Every structure is written in structure tokens, then in C-alpha cells.
């Protein structure tokens, strides 16, 4: 156990670093590819037309696409490289993917534009400002017998990271089980009996 524990800790650290880097990469890609809708300053307030309003869904959509691609690559590479403890690697892969989701969300928001109300507060009429690069929060509530047990706000699309990581690691397990289950056919020389021509 004393020799195994440092290896398990090393696996955890590798997963955390790997997925943190992937989350950082995802944040920069997310910022580059997402076409953010803009508010326009009017005499009374700021407005966004219906066409631009539909662009809000693209923010979550691009996050999910980028997250799944990077998470699949991360999960596949992690389990392929550290395959001696598959169950443990799946666990640390899920932990790492949660870190990646947090890094991508927060770094993406940090490198993206500021809040439009901060830009348009005292701007002249006609000035445009994009929305922030941030995910839509959803309210989750679990209750039993009228008593609220858990209540929090979280972006649903962030689950793309653990789902992608699971898909990547599952593909390694399926590939390895398929290759290990097929044994090569014996050669004619190996099956020949002594004395046979």
C-alpha cells in the first residue's frame, strides 16, 4: 500500500494538470470562435434585437462543442497512458474534467469582454457592446416533503466536460478489451505433430 499510494497521488496530479491545461486551451478557443451578440445604446436604455438575441445560445453551444472534443482527447490520452489502474484513472479523470470545466468557464469570462452595462452606462446613443462570454446559469432544486435539501445555480452545459472524458476513457477500455480478447491464430508449424511431413 505504501508503494501504491504515491502512484495514485501522481495519477491524480497528472489528471488535474492535464485537464487544467485543456480547460485553459478551451477558454481561448471559446473566446476566439464565439460571435457574441451585442447590445445597442438607445436614448432610454440598451436593446438587442431578436436576431442577435438568438446568438446567446451559441455561447453555450460553442462551449459544449469545444469541451466535448478536448475532454474526449484528454480522457483517451490519460487512460491510454496510465492504464494500470483503470478504475482509479476514471475517477481522477472525472475530477480533472470538473476542474477543466471550471477553468474554461472562468478564464473565458475573464479574457472576454466586460459587462455591457459597464460599457454602455454613459456611452452615446448608437454605441454597441457585446455580452459577456459566460454560460447561462440554471437553477437546480431538490426537495423532499416540501423541505429544500439542495438549491444552487450552475451552467448545465458544463457537464460536457465529464461526459466527454467518460467517452474518451470508455473508448480506450473498449479498444483494449477488443484487442485482448482476440488471440492470433496458431501457425501451421506450431500445430504440426512430431514426425508429420
Total of domains in the chain: 1
Using CA atoms, how far apart are residues 36 and 46, in angstroms rounded to an integer?
Answer: 16
Is 188 within the bounds of a domain? no
In this prediction, the residues of the chain whose per-residue pLDDT falls under 70 are 1-3, 49-51, 83, 137-155, 177-197
The reported pLDDT for the residue numbered 181 is 52
The reported pLDDT for the residue numbered 145 is 53
The reported pLDDT for the residue numbered 33 is 95
Is 173 within the bounds of a domain? yes
Is 26 within the bounds of a domain? yes
Using CA atoms, how far apart are residues 40 and 47, in angstroms rounded to an integer?
Answer: 5
Is 101 within the bounds of a domain? yes
Backbone angles phi, psi at 30, to 5 degrees: -55, -45
148: domain range?
4-180
Is 119 within the bounds of a domain? yes
Is 195 within the bounds of a domain? no
The reported pLDDT for the residue numbered 63 is 94
Is 122 within the bounds of a domain? yes
Here the contacts of 30-36 (C-beta below 8 Å, separation 24 or greater) are 30/62, 30/63, 30/66, 30/104, 30/108, 30/133, 31/108, 31/111, 31/112, 31/133, 33/62, 33/66, 34/58, 34/59, 34/62, 34/133, 36/112, 36/113, 36/130, 36/131, 36/133
Is 15 within the bounds of a domain? yes
Amino acid at each position: 500500500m505504501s508503494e501504491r499510494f504515491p502512484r495514485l497521488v501522481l495519477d491524480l496530479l497528472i489528471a488535474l494538470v492535464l485537464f487544467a491545461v485543456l480547460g485553459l486551451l478551451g477558454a481561448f478557443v471559446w473566446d476566439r470562435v464565439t460571435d457574441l451578440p451585442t447590445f445597442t445604446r438607445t436614448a432610454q436604455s440598451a436593446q438587442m434585437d431578436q436576431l442577435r438575441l438568438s446568438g446567446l445560445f451559441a455561447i453555450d453551444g460553442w462551449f459544449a462543442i469545444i469541451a466535448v472534443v478536448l475532454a474526449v482527447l484528454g480522457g483517451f490520452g490519460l487512460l491510454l497512458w496510465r492504464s494500470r489502474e483503470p478504475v482509479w484513472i476514471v475517477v481522477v479523470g472525472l475530477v480533472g474534467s470538473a476542474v477543466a470545466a471550471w477553468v474554461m468557464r472562468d478564464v473565458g469570462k475573464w479574457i472576454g469582454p466586460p459587462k455591457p452595462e459597464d460599457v454602455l452606462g454613459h456611452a452615446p446613443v448608437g454605441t454597441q457592446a457585446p455580452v459577456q462570454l459566460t454560460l447561462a446559469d440554471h437553477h437546480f432544486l431538490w426537495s423532499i416533503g416540501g423541505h429544500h435539501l439542495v438549491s444552487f445555480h450552475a451552467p448545465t452545459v458544463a457537464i460536457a466536460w465529464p461526459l466527454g472524458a467518460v467517452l474518451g476513457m470508455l473508448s480506450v477500455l473498449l479498444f483494449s478489451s477488443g484487442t485482448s480478447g482476440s488471440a492470433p491464430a496458431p501457425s501451421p508449424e506450431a500445430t504440426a505433430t512430431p514426425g508429420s511431413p
